Structure 1
Amino acid sequence: MNQEQKSYISLINHTRKETIRIKKTGWEEINLPGHTHERCQIIYTLSGTLHVQIGATNYFVPEKHIAWIPSYMGHELSSNNRRTSLVIFYLSLDACEDGTPLNEFSIYHADSFIAENLKFIASKGREINREDAPDLYAFALGFFRLLPTICQNMEFLLKTLAIPNDARLHPILAYLQEHLQENPKMPQLAEHFGFSVRNLSRLFNESGIRFSYYVNNLRIMRAIELFADGGKTMQQIAYEVGFSTPNNFNRVFRQITGMSPHNFVKND
Structure 2
Amino acid sequence: MIKVEKKEKYYITEVDANQYSIYCHHDLMGELLIPNHSHDKDQFLYTEGGVVYVKTEKKTYFLPARHFMWIPAGVKHSIHPNAEDVIMRNLYFPKEEMGMDFYKKEGIYPVNDLLLNLLLFTNRWNGNLEQDTRNYTIAKALKVLLPELSGNSLELSLPLAKDKRLLKITEYINAHLHEHLLFTDIAQQYGFSTRTLHRIFTKDLSMSFIQYFTICRMLRAIELLQKKNIPVSEVALSVGYNSLPSFSNTFYKLLGQRPSEYAKGKNILEK
- 2:16–2:39: 8 Å Cα contact kept in structure 1? no
Aligned to 2:93: 91
Partners of 2:170 and 2:102 lie apart in 1 by: 32
The 5 A counterparts of 1:80-229 are 80=82, 83-96=85-98, 99=100, 101-130=102-131, 134-149=133-148, 151-158=149-156, 160-207=157-204, 208-229=206-227
What do the CA deviations read for 1:48-90 (whole angstroms, capped 9, x no partner)?
2222222212222221111111111111222346852211122
Which ranges of structure 1 fall in alignment gaps of 5 or more residues? none
**Paired residue type of 1:204:** F
- 1:21–1:91: 8 Å Cα contact kept in structure 2? yes
1:78–1:154 CA distance, 2 compared to 1 (3 A): farther
Matched, 1:46 2:36: no
**Paired residue type of 1:161:** L
- 1:81–1:229: 8 Å Cα contact kept in structure 2? no
**Paired residue type of 2:71:** I
Q: TM-score, normalising length from structure 2?
A: 0.82
What is the root-mean-square deviation in Å for CA atoms of aligned residues? 2.8
Shift of 1:8: 2.7
- 1:65–1:108: 8 Å Cα contact kept in structure 2? yes
Aligned to 2:269: none
Aligned to 1:19: 21
Partners of 1:201 and 1:82 lie apart in 2 by: 39
Aligned to 1:251: 249
- 2:107–2:154: 8 Å Cα contact kept in structure 1? no
Partners of 2:116 and 2:90 lie apart in 1 by: 13
Secondary structure in 1 aligned to 2:75?
coil
Q: TM-score, normalising length from structure 1?
A: 0.83
Secondary structure in 2 aligned to 1:139?
helix
Greater share of residues in helix: 1
1:202–1:140 CA distance, 2 compared to 1 (3 A): closer
Percentage of matched positions with identical amino acids: 25
- Aligned with residue 68 of structure 2, among 62, 66, 69: 66
Which ranges of structure 2 fall in alignment gaps of 5 or more residues? 1-5, 267-271
Shift of 1:236: 0.7
Count the aligned residue pairs.
Answer: 260
Shift of 1:217: 1.0
**Paired residue type of 1:9:** Y
What do the CA deviations read for 1:163-199 (whole angstroms, capped 9, x no partner)?
2331110121122112211232224433543445454
Partners of 1:52 and 1:238 lie apart in 2 by: 25
